[in-house]
A = this chain, B = another copy of it.
Amino acid sequence: MLFCARMEVRIPHDLDPAFVQSLKEREKARAIELQQQGKFLHLWRVVGQYANISIFDCASNDELHEVLSSLPLFPYLQIEVTPLARHPSSIA
């Protein structure tokens, strides 16, 4: 079951830089892990923004929320989720 998530990263400028660096590294590791598990299908950078458009494949809304809130940057993410259905003209 697919979902589109637009995520915008908003890290307060006065956070400790070492903590931010650690967050970003753990975020990257977690994003790769989720992709390898097949739950995080696509991940694209929005040009010019510290933001991404992502496609998730999860078994339920609960699983998607667990996936998203497992991201180390979650407390600093502004996320909008759009549930997706099969499109009648899609050949996929």
Q: How many residues belonging to A are interface residues under a CB distance threshold of 8 Å? A: 48
Chain B min CB distance to A64 (Å): 5
Q: Does A89 sit at the interface, judged by CB under 8 A?
A: yes
Which residues 44-92 of A sit at the B interface, judged by CB distance below 8 A?
A: 44-50, 52-53, 55, 60-62, 64-65, 68, 75, 79-92
**Given A13-B15, A15-B13, A65 and B89 contact (CB-CB distance below 8 Å):** no
Decide if A86 touches B68 in the complex (CB within 8 Å). no
Cα–Cα, bound, A75→B14 (Å) = 13
Who on chain B is nearest to A62 by CB? B85
Cα–Cα, bound, A40→B45 (Å) = 19
Q: Does A4 sit at the interface, judged by CB under 8 A?
A: yes
